[in-house]
Structure 1
Amino acid sequence: MDPFRLQNILNEELRAFAIKDYCPNGLQVEGRSHIKKIVTGVTASQALIDAAIEREADAILVHHGYFWKGESPVLTHMKGRRIASLLSHQINLLAYHLPLDIHPTLGNNAQLAALLGIELRRGLEPWDKNSVAMVGELKSPMQGAQFAAHIEQVLGRQPLHIEAHQRVIKKIGICTGGGQSFLPLAAEQGVDAFISGEISEQTTHTAREMGVDFFAAGHHATERYGVKALGEWLSEKYQLDVCFVDIDNPV
């Protein structure tokens, strides 16, 4: 498959042009003209590039790519080495950030919710049809400590649990990755708990004072599943050879 055709397929499925983002979505580095084997992963780190080279992949598809807003444009040091590796091996790099977070079935929020038994109901930001954060309900309501244990069992990583009440958790807000800033808005909408990847210092105080249990389950751990699902979709629909490579990251 031609890399630009692959980009068009992904752009259409993820509605990439309809979503404002902090980075370019789509083909970020052009490599060889025919793509058959794809390596997917969360972040376009050197370790993932090396894994793609070892597997003789034609393309890498990630959630966290390059060229972020405010980032220095110079190709030196770590960034220069990464780009040089891609170019010297003619490996295409495609990346999708927010479009992959919010896709209703393949997205990070949707995939994490399905794994944890959360039925998503609506966007947390009612004024934005492309809301990054979501609100849903636990299919099997449980206490906070039980939900923390459930997250650990599903993700293989113990979450940081800020306990703020003794209520059973049913209504829950969710935003994978660095979504902790949505906690106040979620609290105003009456959620019992909020789950994200990261936590900030002030998140603890906000959770306690607004009475919402908060679960920080890891940026990487909460965002493994969207790009993996997207790769599986490509493999099934377009008969591409796709391999998900999980580069260990404790954060």
Structure 2
Amino acid sequence: MSTSRHTLLSSFNELLQPERFKDYGPNGLQVEGKDSIERIVSGVTASRALIEAAIARRADAIFVHHGLFWRGMDGRITGWMKQRVQLLLAHDINLLAYHLPLDAHPVLGNNAQLGRVLGLQADGRFGDQDLGFIGPGEFADARTLADRVQSALARSVTLVGESARPVRRVAWCTGGAQGFFESAIAAGADVFITGEISEPQAHLARETGVAFIAAGHHATERYGAPAAAGHVAALLGLEHQFIDIDNPA
């Protein structure tokens, strides 16, 4: 089966509601390709490696969390940007990207899907634009939870802060959400899980007794793109494949 680019874009917009969010880059269609869509490839980031893999699989559209545009970047189409755009245009592939809207979706988004993978269920939100999730967790201590995260994501994690007290409330927000740590503390978390840690968070964890787990930006955001793209593909009768381009960050 096939569908039109307009129908595909409308389906993703209806699902993820990008108009609700203030974001640093455009959500939705970032590069226009062919009008008729049969195959979707999803991935975390619109890297050249993902684009080349999608070309090899004869994809008509690529759906990602991180598109071509990052905060504060140069807007000129040169170098690596030219190479990515050139590949997309040469093969007439549509690129669709949803950043904060994909983080926030209550079922298919990055935070909801990370919770599913870790066995956590949110009963509240916190942080800017209510992007952070928080919910109950019964763990002997933060180290026990960190071990679960490490096993579930198949990568080492960084644990900073109190690791002896029981954990009853867990907050999480995928990717580079280390700036949400203070909001997680205020929301009553015993542990905060995200992708990255910066210098200030280590001190806050030690001083407040709220543990901080950094589990990798890419590793925490591998689940929303295939969930959302798979849902839309099934709805429209399209082929879908998730391609995970490894990233140690």
- TM category (shorter chain) comes to over 0.9
The match for 2:219 is: 221
The match for 1:83 is: 85
The match for 2:133 is: 134
Q: Assess if the C-alpha contact under 8 Å between 1:24 and 1:68 holds in 2.
A: no
**Which amino acid in 1 is paired with 2:184?**
A
Deviations 1:44-87 (A, max 9, x none): 00000000011111010000002334321110000010000000
The match for 2:76 is: 74
Q: Assess if the C-alpha contact under 8 Å between 2:171 and 2:184 holds in 1.
A: yes
Note the C-alpha offset of 1:210. Answer: 1.3
* 2:120 is the alignment partner of 1:118: yes
Note the C-alpha offset of 1:102. Answer: 0.4
Q: How far apart, in 2, do the equivalents of 1:184 and 1:248 lie?
A: 30
The match for 1:56 is: 58
The match for 2:245 is: 247
Aligned-pair Cα RMSD in Å: 1.2
The match for 1:210 is: 208
Count of paired positions: 247
Which aligned runs of 4 or more in structure 1 are off by greater than 4 angstroms? none
The match for 1:187 is: 185
**Which amino acid in 1 is paired with 2:85?**
I
Q: Assess if the C-alpha contact under 8 Å between 1:58 and 1:90 holds in 2.
A: yes
**Closer, same or farther: CA 182–43 of 1 in aligned 2, 3 Å:** same
Percentage identity across paired residues of the two chains: 47
- Of residues 158, 175, 185 in structure 2, which corresponds to 1:177? 175
- Any gaps of 5 or more consecutive residues in structure 2? none
The match for 1:198 is: 196
Q: Assess if the C-alpha contact under 8 Å between 1:4 and 1:27 holds in 2.
A: no
- Of residues 7, 24, 47 in structure 1, which corresponds to 2:9? 7
Using CA pairs under 8 Å that are at least 6 residues apart, name the structure with larger relative contact order, 1 or 2: 2
Q: How far apart, in 1, do the equivalents of 2:108 and 2:223 lie?
A: 8
Note the C-alpha offset of 1:142. Answer: 3.0
Q: How far apart, in 1, do the equivalents of 2:185 and 2:9 lie?
A: 38
> Please, what TM-score do these two structures have when normalized by structure 1?
0.95
Note the C-alpha offset of 1:152. Answer: 1.3
> Please, what TM-score do these two structures have when normalized by structure 2?
0.96
